[in-house]
Amino acid sequence: MHIDQFPSRLLENAVNEFAKLPGIGRKSALRLVLHLLKQDIQDVEIFGKSLIQLRTEIKHCRICYNISDTDICSICSHPSRNPSLICVVENIKDVMSIENTHQFNGLYHVLGGIISPMDGIGPSDLEIDSLVHRVNEGTIEEIILALSTTMEGDTTNFFIYKKLKDTGVKLSTLARGVSIGDELEYTDEVTLGRSIVNRMNFEESIIR
Amino acid sequence: MHIDQFPSRLLENAVNEFAKLPGIGRKSALRLVLHLLKQDIQDVEIFGKSLIQLRTEIKHCRICYNISDTDICSICSHPSRNPSLICVVENIKDVMSIENTHQFNGLYHVLGGIISPMDGIGPSDLEIDSLVHRVNEGTIEEIILALSTTMEGDTTNFFIYKKLKDTGVKLSTLARGVSIGDELEYTDEVTLGRSIVNRMNFEESIIR
């Protein structure tokens, strides 16, 4: 008799669970599980419980739908941020990326995805109605659409534009152009073409 | 105020815990945690609990020190395996690799590592005394040393050899040579040199 790959059901369960995560194959899963076996019991308990706690206790902010430990997130509840400027993003990672630039002082609205018929995601699956509702409350002056520059992103932008164009709110989008640090030789022609057409004042380009 | 990377302490904790695992950086950790956030609460609970259960409930076999759900593992307790032939390996992964070949019908002895002064691992940190004890019980006829072909592996082999050479047990090691499927051009010269010196009978080489 030869063991069926795993000498222990507990080990097999843990490997199976790890292998369900995206980008982690069975070999990596085994490596991670054997690593955990060598750690202190306490540390593994903290790890396991942190995942369960995350999933069971996390909330979504009632205003912007970003994830949060409280009913209203730390950005929406902060007194010095500008509530008349809203940046619409796809997900929480985008919030983190924009926060890391330290260039934005408004609030967010997290859609929870973008319109993607291929993945079965329609407008009603996203926080678009709640965005319209926020705009209708009257304090918002400008909406920055900061979605991916893909077909799905453009579709979602256009859908939101149609919903909001008669509300009087100003709609803007992220500047498109050659990335800072990029060589022209390797810039795609659509981006390059657009950035010639939409060329900007040189003096503005150096004030950053 | 800009959020310090994470909008939620729960999220940050979970990311920190994942990022402690070998080969998982903070970006991957965030990706995995956001994936878990999208799963059913039940599934995440099963995942977290499987890790805690693994670490708290797993045993080591009293005979071979392989990990096991029971006091004596399924290999040591199996009636049709040969208890007079013991394969000495570094860790449980090696047991699994050898089991997968379906070529070995003896029992194992899992050292739990190899002698490595650089990592502070000496003979007393390994299951070497228990191996000598098993041999002294008198039922073992042959010990196969199946450790890594590294300096640490050679050191450990030699240490075990010194401990067992007067017991009368037969000591063997894995065959060294050109890997099956390897091209000579890319075989390292030490391996190639040894495999010329230790050349084997052609008829034996084709009976597999």
The more confidently predicted of residues B7 and B61 is: B61
Interface contact B19, partner A, CB < 8 A: no
Smallest CA–CA distance, residue B101 to chain A, in Å, is 9
Q: Do B69 and A3 touch (CB under 8 A)?
A: no
| CATH code of A104's domain | 3.40.1360.10
Same domain for A32 and A119, yes or no, is no
Smallest CA–CA distance, residue A64 to chain B, in Å, is 12
Chosen for mutation from A4, A13, A18, A55 (greatest number of chain B CBs closer than 10 Å) is A55
Same domain for A111 and A157, yes or no, is yes
Q: Do A73 and B21 touch (CB under 8 A)?
A: no
Q: Is A134 inside a domain boundary?
A: yes
Q: Is B206 inside a domain boundary?
A: no
The range of the structural domain enclosing residue A167 comes to: 79-174
Smallest CA–CA distance, residue A193 to chain B, in Å, is 33
Same domain for B118 and B43, yes or no, is no
Same domain for B143 and B106, yes or no, is yes
pLDDT at A206 (0 to 100): 64
- Mean pLDDT within B162-166: 91
Same domain for B94 and B160, yes or no, is yes
Q: Give residue-wise pLDDT tens across range A40-66.
A: 999 999 999 999 999 999 999 999 999
Residue type (1 letter), A8: S
Same domain for B32 and B118, yes or no, is no
Residue in B51, B69, B92 closest to A48 by CB: B51
CB environment A107-136: b (16+ within 10 A), e (fewer): bbbbbbbbbbeeeebeeeebbbebbeebbe
- From CA B160, how far away is CA B89, in angstroms rounded? 12
Residue with tokens 């934005």: A104
Q: Of the candidates B61, B56, B60, B5, which has an alpha carbon nearest to the alpha carbon of residue B33? A: B5
pLDDT at A180 (0 to 100): 74
Q: Do B78 and A1 touch (CB under 8 A)?
A: yes
pLDDT at B4 (0 to 100): 52
3-state SS of A117-185 is HHHCECHHHCCCHHHHHHHHCCCCCEEEECCCCCHHHHHHHHHHHHHHCCCCCEEEECCCCCCCCCCHH
Q: Is B106 inside a domain boundary?
A: yes
Domains: count for chain A: 2
Q: Is A201 inside a domain boundary?
A: no
Q: How many other β-carbons are positioned within 10 Å of the β-carbon of residue B172?
A: 12
Q: Do B7 and A55 touch (CB under 8 A)?
A: no
Same domain for A47 and A98, yes or no, is no
Indicate if the pLDDT at residue A207 is higher than 60: no
- Using CB atoms within 10 Å of the CB of residue A65, give its burial: 0 to 12 exposed, 13 to 18 middle, 19+ buried: buried
Q: Is B200 inside a domain boundary?
A: no
Least confident of A31-40, A187-196, B22-31: A187-196
pLDDT at B3 (0 to 100): 43
pLDDT at A2 (0 to 100): 42
- Closest residue of B to A20, CA-based? B47
pLDDT at B1 (0 to 100): 37
Q: How many other β-carbons are positioned within 10 Å of the β-carbon of residue B134?
A: 20
Same domain for B49 and B93, yes or no, is no
Smallest CA–CA distance, residue B65 to chain A, in Å, is 12
- From CA A127, how far away is CA A92, in angstroms rounded? 13
Whole-angstrom CA distances from A121 to A89, A127, B40 are: 16, 12, 19
Q: Give residue-wise pLDDT tens across range A121-153.
A: 999 999 999 999 999 998 999 999 998 888 898
Q: Do A49 and B51 touch (CB under 8 A)?
A: no
Q: Chain B residues with CB inside 8 Å of A53's CB?
A: 10, 13-14
Smallest CA–CA distance, residue A171 to chain B, in Å, is 23
Q: Give residue-wise pLDDT tens across range B36-92.
A: 998 999 999 999 999 999 999 999 999 999 999 999 999 999 999 999 999 999 999
Same domain for A53 and A83, yes or no, is no
Q: Is B189 inside a domain boundary?
A: no
B residues 88-147 closer than 8 Å to A (CB): 91-93, 95-96, 99-100, 102
The answer to whether the beta carbons of residues A33 and B14 sit under 8 Å apart is: no
Average pLDDT, chain A: 88
| CATH code of A37's domain | 1.10.8.420
Same domain for A168 and A96, yes or no, is yes
Q: Do A11 and B67 touch (CB under 8 A)?
A: yes
Smallest CA–CA distance, residue B79 to chain A, in Å, is 9
pLDDT at B39 (0 to 100): 92
pLDDT at B2 (0 to 100): 42
Q: Which helix (H) or strand (E) holds A110?
A: strand A106-110
Q: Is B150 inside a domain boundary?
A: yes
Same domain for B86 and B40, yes or no, is no
pLDDT at B100 (0 to 100): 84
Interface contact A157, partner B, CB < 8 A: no
In sequence order, the β-bridge partners of residue A106 are A82
pLDDT at A1 (0 to 100): 37
Q: Do A35 and B49 touch (CB under 8 A)?
A: no
Q: Is B186 inside a domain boundary?
A: no
Same domain for B158 and B98, yes or no, is yes
Interface contact B80, partner A, CB < 8 A: yes
Indicate if the pLDDT at residue B138 is higher than 70: yes
